Structure 1
Amino acid sequence: MVEVRPRSRWTAIAAFALVGAATQLVWLNFAGVTTVAADRYGVSENAIGWLAQVFPLLYVVLAIPAGLILDKWFRSGLIAGAVLTALGALLRLGGDDYSWLLAGQLVASVAQPLVLNAVTGITGRYLAEKDRPTGIAAGTASIFAGMVLAFLLSAIYPDSNQLPTVLWLTAIFSVLAAAGVIVALRKPGEHKLERRRPDRGALQIAWGDPLIRRLCVLAIFPFGVFVAITTFSQALLEPAGVSAGTASTILLINVVAGVVGSAVVPVLVVRHHAEAALLVASLSVTALACVALALAPSVAVGFIAITLIGFLLLPALPIVLELVERRTGEAEGTAAGLIWMAGNLGGLLVATAVGILVDRPLAAFLVMAGVALIAVPGARALRRPIAELDAPG
């Protein structure tokens, strides 16, 4: 009798993609219009920066609990994340005041770990094994697509009186995404059945793996630089004559380049078993790009340097998550949570340091360059453990 294998359910991946995009859209609504938003709401640029920084702050706290929830109750956890994202976006419409913005960001930031930690889990449950690398790439690309939407809205609506329009559009998108994932996940996945495992066992499986621990430490640095770039580029480039609209366009192209890179680079990297080489190259180029921004800030340098950062740095995420899915199939939610937690810790630390230096762009960009360079030896040291993972048996 011929065994009938369940089909891949791409509708679930598409629904997840919309929710993943929504989390990033809510997160980065103000990244491209930091000074404009500060003027409108009567707060400092650093206060507007905290509307984004609460996301990595709470991710550090909630990443492991969210991963454990997803490993035990995957569908319920992901749906809760989608609903909370929509609720946070709606809450920001409560009043034209900074306190409403902060309240909405806090609610949405609680949801983000439940959504982003699920990128490996949803592929394992709803896709056949041969389709999972593509599914992970698509899921992570959707995260970057949400960033593209955020910067695109900032470029289209750069004025202070247009910010309410941005908030309304984000809320509508988030509500539709939540509705889509509720419908798409009404049935459990057939490929990897949801298991109820002891919390401690899932965490031990994930953290007990030396490769996962190394990836966690490494993730602190590139994530940190990217979060700082996306949060403060506009404010750091403004003294060089770069307008808010131009900065939003630069960030938009940065993430578009990341989406393109994520579609092309991982395929080549996996084919040639060059994961560590990519990480070394992306960190080195990022450091050089930050030095260029420090020494010669301008519209042209901003476009070139930040686009290079996006093209080479963002593809590292699907590569790392694919390694996680292969390595810890029994606890992929918790393992992904550890990676995201480390990355967001790096984002919190680096963005906080850059926020303190927001009035001194030279020092801020050099700090980011130094953070990227520190990670290069660690990336180079991953060659052997990744080769062992790729080896037969």
Structure 2
Amino acid sequence: MVSTQKYPRKRWLMLLLFMFLTIMVELQWLTHAPIARVAQVFYGNQLTRFSWLTIDTLALVYMVMFLLMCVPASYFLDTYGIRKGIGFGAILTLIGGAIKGFFGHNILLVFVGQLILAVAQPFILNGVTAFSARWFPGDERAMVAGFLALAQYVGIILVMVVTPSLVVAAAADVNYGQGVDHMLWIYMFPTVLSALLFLWFFRARPEGIREGSDVQNLGFKAGYGHLLRSKGAWLTGLLFVIGLGIFNAISSLVDAIAAHLEVTDSDGLIGGIMLIGGIIGALILPMLSDKYQKRKPFLVLCIAGMLPAVAGMAHAPELAQWLGMAHEGVYQIALASSFLLGFFVMSAGPIGFQYMAEITHPTPEATSQGFLLLVGQFSGIAMVVIMGLDKNAYLGVMLKFFVPLAILALVLVLLLKESPKMGNP
């Protein structure tokens, strides 16, 4: 699917603007997660006044609002276009980030700001394939989806690494628990800047580029109907139910998994290594998919790579014993498995989004991508709930259950047909 039209260099500026906005909305998601105990001390009595509001609620609201707003966001993007759709997300990002920055000392107002940011997220994330279809030729679109996935991972890594240094996190310090409001104030500035730059400079499509048949879509309702009648769409959706669900579950419970593996202090490395693997994978595999004009072989590779990663995570103690490794070997196997899981699953996402857009055309791109994100979010939440029942009593069982699920995913991906757009001018 190589275009004969010459796309302007400005497309890279549009991509950078979109990436900057994506980084900040993902960073704002987890501002309190790496310093949960510090934030608990900082807000102290405020939390006792609102029994429903905890530090964990600030991260959970993103997941819940994505479920509620995913379909409306896709409808808005498909109906009014990416500049208005993603732009609306940028406006909400600006407002939510400013509220958290100015009122970081008040947990209730921080929650209000977080709620607004949570509504903004699907308007931004669901616009990826629609953006790439308008600004980039067909042989660069999976790469663009990979870069925007990379932006999500960068935002998460930044907040995990930088946040502890912006607060008093040493338990022995007499000022322990201070600085949370200062941290939110600092994060407000790049968040507001990313939104303002996007709103000022971003354009819906390049001038002088003829809109091809690949971006002439059905309406939202007709597009969803067309998607649901596609066998390939259902197979791809099942792959995301399994792959994205497993990834969301493991990434949400990295500390609990470390405890299950009897790792005394993981320092969040299991999650961090997973994200590093994802960044490397998102840079390499989508680009190769575009270069060789193939989608299915790379999806097969990603799912095949997920299988040993999940097996290693689930059976790390047994593997360490079989290999004659000391107890520290369990942690090493878990880290290696985490890297593989991030590398293959997080790079499968961008390729899968682009594949879905191609096989379900003329369904609008925001609709097809939103569908995949929605089913993956549903399954991820379900897996997290099951794994967390009775104080994580079923965590080990679920980790082992992920292995046959990964085998099922490998069977399903082999049933896919190659994208009809590959190799066509």
TM class by shorter chain equals: 0.7 to 0.9
How much does 1:103 deviate?
Answer: 2.0
Q: Greater CA deviation, 195-204 or 87-96?
A: 195-204
Q: Which amino acid aligns with 1:20?
A: T
Partner in structure 2 of residue 232 of structure 1: 253
Q: State the identity as a percent.
A: 21
1:315 partner SS: helix
2:124 equivalent in structure 1: 115
Equivalent residue letter for 1:23: V
In structure 1, what is the Cα distance between the partners aligned to 2:343 and 2:57?
26
Which 4+ residue blocks in structure 1 deviate beyond 6 angstroms? 193-196, 293-298, 390-393
Q: Per the alignment, do residues 381 and 48 of structure 1 end up closer, same or farther by CA in structure 2, a change over 3 Å counting?
A: same
Which residue in 2 is equivalent to 1:66? Answer: 73
Q: Which residue is 1:18 aligned to?
A: 20
Deviation track 1:293-335 (CA, whole Å, cap 9, x = no partner) reads 8996876455434333222221111111121232234311100
Residue type of the alignment partner of 1:207 = L
What is the deviation of 1:240?
Answer: 3.8
- TM-score for the superposition, normalised by structure 2: 0.79
Partner of 2:174: none
Cα distance, 1:292–1:162 mapped onto 2, change above 3 Å: farther
Aligned length: 386
Alignment check: 8 A CA contact 1:79 1:181 kept: yes
User: 1:88: Cα distance to partner?
Assistant: 1.9
The C-alpha deviation readout for 1:30-65, integer Å capped at 9, x for no partner, is 333334434443469994333222222222222122
Q: Distance in 1 between matches of 2:52 and 2:270?
A: 19
Structure 2, unpaired ranges of 5+? 170-176, 321-326
Do 1:153 and 1:166's aligned partners in 2 also have CA atoms closer than 8 Å?
no
Larger deviation, residues 304-313 vs 342-351: 304-313
Cα 1:374–1:143 change in 2 (3 A) is same
SS of the residue aligned with 2:105? coil
CA contact (8 A) 2:285 2:298 kept: no
1:241 corresponds, among 239, 256, 264, to 264
Which residue among 277, 283, 288 is the counterpart of 1:257? 277
2:374 equivalent to 1:341: yes
Residues 1:336 and 1:311: Cα distance change in structure 2 (over 3 Å)? same
Kindly indicate whether residue 220 of structure 2 is the aligned counterpart of residue 199 of structure 1: yes
In the TM superposition, residue 348 of structure 1 has moved relative to its aligned partner by: 1.9
Pair 1:275-2:276 in alignment: no
Distance 1:187 1:213, change over 3 A: closer
2:98 aligns to what? 90
Larger Rg: 2
Alpha-carbon distance in 2 for matches of 1:149, 1:278: 26
Q: TM-score, normalised by structure 1?
A: 0.85
**For 1:112 and 1:182, how far apart are their aligned partners in 2?**
16
Query: Which letter does structure 2 place at the counterpart of 1:7?
Result: P
Alignment equivalent of 1:79, drawn from 61, 84, 87: 87
2:195 maps to a residue whose letter is A
Using the TM superposition, name which of 258-267 and 89-98 deviates more.
Answer: 89-98
1:147 counterpart = 2:156: yes
* 1:181 corresponds to: 198
Query: Does residue 1:7 correspond to 2:17, yes or no?
Result: no
